[in-house]
Structure 1
Amino acid sequence: MTPSRPLPLIAIHGGAGTMSRSHISAEQDAAYHAALQSILLPAQQLLADGGSALDAVSLAVDLLEDCPLFNAGHGSVFTHDETHELDAAVMDGASLRAGAVACVSRVRRPLRAARAVMEHSEHVLLVGAGAEAFAQGQGLEMVSPDYFSTEARRAQLHRALASDKALLDHDGAALVFQQSTADAAPLDEGRKFGTVGAVALDAHGNLAAATSTGGMTNKRPGRVGDTPLIGAGTYADNRTAAVSCTGTGEMFIRTAAAYDLCARMAYGGQSLKAAAQQVVMDVLPTLNGRGGLIAVDAQGNLSLPFNTEGMYRGWARVGEAAHTAIFR
């Protein structure tokens, strides 16, 4: 690492949403901070050892997919038909290579499938049975769809079915789940956008982004959100930034949010902070788009804006303490 280069950096998110502070104990709040720390630290160490941004975001999202506290991999939400359909994407800022999968239900680690698409096919996006067959052919671990299920997510679906709402529009008019203190979370699971993601800058100055999600509770089967759509929920370009989004997916698609941030930097000369703030606080709200994003540029600048009450997030530079946060 040359002295002139910025310190390598990893940042992660576990979804954005509204507060339920009054329903949780200090222990439950601490559990989420501990989970975020446990995901940041191995990725930080990988970067400290000279690892690539691509490997760092892949590792972080692997760990996020394995944590049932977050809506990706094990612990994913249910569709209207009480099934699981998972999406993921990864992008390498150095080469603009990208890979994604959508509507998979048998691939244990969807982000690994997305990376396999990027590295071992001529395509960017594979969906459904074709994506699963490709992943299996690449030797990735396959599971029964019920691997992703948890009873907390099943109860969440049944409450949503009772209201006949797809939990996408999580503003004040959306259904508020009545949680027991046993399963309460810092962000109200009934009004939260469940996506996980990571962005990183490595010692060589390269950027990468990765995003994974179980979608939205009670969604119509076959629905695909912004996560696996390059330029909407996921984007990385060494010339501008690496971006991973979480929120009302349809609005992030309609605004090409991740790419819009990078375009504002490339063509408008905006700083990372200014571009990120404008996308999240100005552009998305005009379409009632709610959520947030995490972004890092090649100079090591970091931005984590959100227009909801909270966003699970954390960041760690090599050689410095890791930080985690939920609320503002």
Structure 2
Amino acid sequence: MKIYHLSHTDLDGYACQYIVNFYFKNVEFYNSNYGKEINENFNAILNDFDTSKPDKAMILITDLNLTLAQCDEFEKECEKRGLKILLLDHHQSGEECMQKYSWYLLDSSRCAAKIVYDFFSKICSCNEGLTQFVNVVNAVDIWLKEDENFELGKVFLGLIANAKEINRVMFKDKNILYIFFLFNHARKFIGKENAHILLENAVHFIKKDFFSKGKDDTLSNLISFFVVENLSEIKKDLILYYEGYKGILTSNIGNTSVIGNEFLLKNPEFDFFIDVSSRKTLSFRANGKIDVSLMAKNLVGGGGHKNASGGFFSAFKESANYAFLKAQIIDLIKSKEIKKDNANATTT
């Protein structure tokens, strides 16, 4: 059976996916915050299901509570496609949904990861190492301050909260691999004396181990190299055009100056680099082929330098769907082109 697993973007949510990955291998992972992101990810799952058409499939939702409207919509869409749906959660705000829908399982006494582990370990088998891991997550997620795992759980919590090196919108699969890598290494500290201190001291080197690929450098440089390498692999899907110039669009990529310049050097067929952030800011980078200060001014009233500029896109709407983000920038460019053409037509 194919499992499409949608979970939250915190320690508990990712831990749910780590557990499912332990028991099942034919799984596609999606992550969401609350609100419209849940619907966006659900629609992405339906699209992936309709494209691949597996014989048997299930949508598993963990560590996310739904509204009644979402439950109604999701159930109808799954019934139309013959998809099973199961939700395992611990947020009390979902109690009304639990009472109405048989596939909505809720228990506020445990974290979602423990619910998921208890559910699947009964079906499959228990695992001592996974039990210890879940106990650490549970201790911090439901805030059991007297629990022996609480302090280590706090370090686990910070480890995942600060694991922002790989953008989950741009590199969904690589982000999951990274989170699982961090979990694999963090688990090694369970049971050690002063485990929370030892793990905190080791975090920097654990991260370097993931990004190094056999060569040593600063963590910042290793991350930049990783991001540029992965952008280069998917660059065909990120292409933008502006007045005959070819560029690339990223979202919340971070460290734009370094990554933008490195990408343009590695991929000389591109003329500019734009990153759009969740704060509605646009960062423009170039390598001498186009004046991005003029580009920023024309598109969003921004400005700066010839090869490095910025601006504020007030109408921008944040999304977990890259295609939607890109469509907004394309529409912005087209609207300015139409305005320019109309102005030229008027003067002639």
TM-score (norm 1): 0.25
Structure number with bigger Rg:
2
Between 1 and 2, higher relative CO (CA 8 Å, sep ≥ 6) is seen in 1
Higher percent of residues as strand: 1
